[in-house]
Amino acid sequence: MPTPNPRPLNEKTLTSHDVQVDLPAYDRGELRRSIVHIGVGGFHRSHLATYIDEVCRAGYRNWSIVGGGVLSSDAAIAEALTAQDYLYSLIVRGSTETRVSVVGAIVDYVYAYPDPAPLVERIAKAETEIVSLTITEGGYPIDDSSGLYDPDSPVAGPQSAFGILVSALDVRRNSGTGPVTVMSCDNIMSNGDAARTSTLGEASKLGAELVEWIETNVAFPNSMVDRITPVTSDTDRAWLAAQHGIEDRWPVVAEPFRQWVLEDRFAGDTPPLEEVGVLLTDDVEPYERLKLRLLNASHSGLAYLAALLDFELVDQAMSDDSIRRFVEAFLAEAGSVVPAVPGIDVVEYRQSLIERFANPAIGDQISRLCLDGSAKFPKFLLPTIQAVIGQGRSPELSAFALAGWCQYLLGRNENGSAIERSSDPLLDVAVGHATNSLEEPRAFLRFAEVFAPEVANDPLFADAFERRLSLLRSVGVRSAIGETLLSGHTVTEIS
């Protein structure tokens, strides 16, 4: 039943809100500020922050989060959180039930643009045990083809996330402060190793002694993270105010499912994460591979095809028989080359993804999934293509996903209306290659930042890509999916 007279969310009003909202009962003033998190977006607040909130609810007082923003665009979240004493609402929408809680694990926020000094100081404090990161796939200054640090990357340098981190580590070294753990929560394979490469690359600019200190005193655990978290809308804010009387500048919406597999490798103290559902393991790689190649790759693949059909939400796209059949077939192709994962039935996992994508309550945006294709596909999809062609098979569904991206980059949907293309660090370059493909489909494969030569020049893949792109352009998305599934090249079983 709607609640009249909504009240702003902050520490003073906390206990006056709707009794149906799960509120943090712990004293936030007692919490030790032991985690600094760079990149406080929706995913961080639906994932890591919720686990730490549950740690606090379980009675532990040694763990809380100080957020850090290093981009000019972080000013908005800094303002929103500060006005609310860093509290925010989490709206968990399942297919049959919606639950609301207030998360109290974030206790401060440091806006480090354009002056990084306050964030450097915060990370350098002795009480900081962990520096965690969600800076997106494109936030790591690493050359995708070599896997090495790229000093010329646009996300390298002293003002970048890793530049600021390294400055803080240098202060810790000089002051004799203890070891620290750098914990990536981004959707990239071996994200801890990527964080280590980026950190050591930046540190090398400051000298060999700092590099040696980091190698001895800093841990970089790998992790796999998973929770569908759409962009917050004004409709979400209005619903929260009407239903629960909470005026929240930036609530978070998420699905009920949540997963975190974390390498048990820390430099100092460790939160009791296993008590709140985190799987600690010696080997994260099988879980990473499964999630990135199936969930993330299929998300990106369906998104560009859905955009061509003018869908705005994922569940709407999944209600289209052609899109659903494409996703099922893609998951079969990718799943056929994913090695076994301890405790996971891959067929059941594939089916669970179909159900999660089709959740009508979550409202996940196609535009969100279309972000950063040039950063995502090399990590999410190219390994599947290489594995399939390594078996002497044609990667038809993977090629189709890339054909959909290529067509999307031209900026028109099937009705001829303009597509508002989502941001991408290499958008202009990508559009250029897509435009060249109008004369020669394989010209798109010359997009060297995405396609390694051994993939782009492989005849099985190149033929499949040209075949699928030409078909897509000649008959449209739905007919092209149907003809592809009837082509005899694909693995389509779901059970």
Which residue intervals of 89-160 are DSSP H helices? Answer: 117-124
Decide if pLDDT at 492 tops 60. no
Instruction: Give the per-residue pLDDT at 102.
Output: 97
Decide if pLDDT at 204 tops 70. yes
Which residue intervals of 58-135 are DSSP H helices? Answer: 75-83, 117-124
CATH number assigned to the domain comprising residue 18: 3.40.50.720
Instruction: Give the per-residue pLDDT at 494.
Output: 36
Q: Could you tell me how far CA 219 lies from the centroid of its own chain? A: 22
> Does 214 fall in a domain?
yes
257 lies in the same domain as 341: no
Decide if pLDDT at 2 tops 70. no
Residue scoring higher pLDDT (3 or 206): 206
Instruction: Give the per-residue pLDDT at 3.
Output: 58
Concatenating the DSSP letter of every residue in 257-281 gives --EEEEES--SS----GGGGT-EEE
pLDDT digits (tens, 9 = 90+) for 30-63: 999 999 999 999 999 999 999 999 999 999 999 9
128 lies in the same domain as 271: yes
Decide if pLDDT at 181 tops 50. yes
> Does 462 fall in a domain?
yes
The residue written with tokens 């002056």 in the block is 115
Query: Is-cis flag, bond preceding 24, omega within 30?
Result: no
Q: What is the DSSP letter of 319?
A: T
Decide if pLDDT at 75 tops 70. yes
292 lies in the same domain as 266: no
Instruction: Give the per-residue pLDDT at 123.
Output: 98
| Cβ 408 vs Cβ 304: under 8 Å | yes
The percent of residues above 70 in pLDDT, for the chain, comes to 98
Q: Could you tell me how far CA 475 lies from the centroid of its own chain? A: 33
The pLDDT confidence band at residue 493, using thresholds 50, 70 and 90, is very low
Decide if pLDDT at 259 tops 80. yes
Decide if pLDDT at 334 tops 50. yes
- Structural domains counted in the chain: 2
Closest CA to 122 of 81, 48, 180: 180
366 lies in the same domain as 324: yes
Distance CA 21, CA 331 (A): 37
Which residue intervals of 92-219 are DSSP H helices? Answer: 117-124, 161-175, 191-203, 208-217
| Cβ 326 vs Cβ 397: under 8 Å | yes
Closest CA to 140 of 130, 131, 150: 150
> Does 59 fall in a domain?
yes
Q: Which token pair is 257?
A: 């499912």
The percent of residues above 90 in pLDDT, for the chain, comes to 93
Q: Which token pair is 449?
A: 């930042």
Residues forming a β-bridge with 178: none
CA distances from 268 to 119, 171, 264 (A): 20, 17, 11
176 membership: H or E segment, kind and range:
none
Instruction: Give the per-residue pLDDT at 16.
Output: 86
How much is the average pLDDT of 230-235?
96
> Does 184 fall in a domain?
yes
CATH number assigned to the domain comprising residue 348: 1.10.1040.10
244 lies in the same domain as 305: no
106 lies in the same domain as 207: yes
How much is the average pLDDT of 304-309?
98
> Does 491 fall in a domain?
no
> Does 154 fall in a domain?
yes
pLDDT digits (tens, 9 = 90+) for 265-284: 999 999 999 999 999 999 99
Q: Which token pair is 366?
A: 């196609």
Instruction: Give the per-residue pLDDT at 489.
Output: 67
190 lies in the same domain as 299: no
Amino acid at 313: L
pLDDT digits (tens, 9 = 90+) for 435-469: 999 999 999 999 999 999 999 999 999 999 999 99
366 lies in the same domain as 258: no
478 lies in the same domain as 378: yes
The pLDDT confidence band at residue 101, using thresholds 50, 70 and 90, is very high
How much is the average pLDDT of 156-169?
97
- Phi–psi pair at 252, nearest 5 degrees: -125, 140
Decide if pLDDT at 490 tops 80. no
pLDDT digits (tens, 9 = 90+) for 236-252: 999 999 999 999 999 99
| Cβ 431 vs Cβ 443: under 8 Å | no
> Does 39 fall in a domain?
yes
183 lies in the same domain as 295: no
How much is the average pLDDT of 431-438?
98
> Does 490 fall in a domain?
no
Structural domain including 373 reads: 285-485
77 lies in the same domain as 152: yes
237 lies in the same domain as 295: no
Distance CA 467, CA 487 (A): 11
Closest CA to 48 of 231, 230, 185, 186: 185
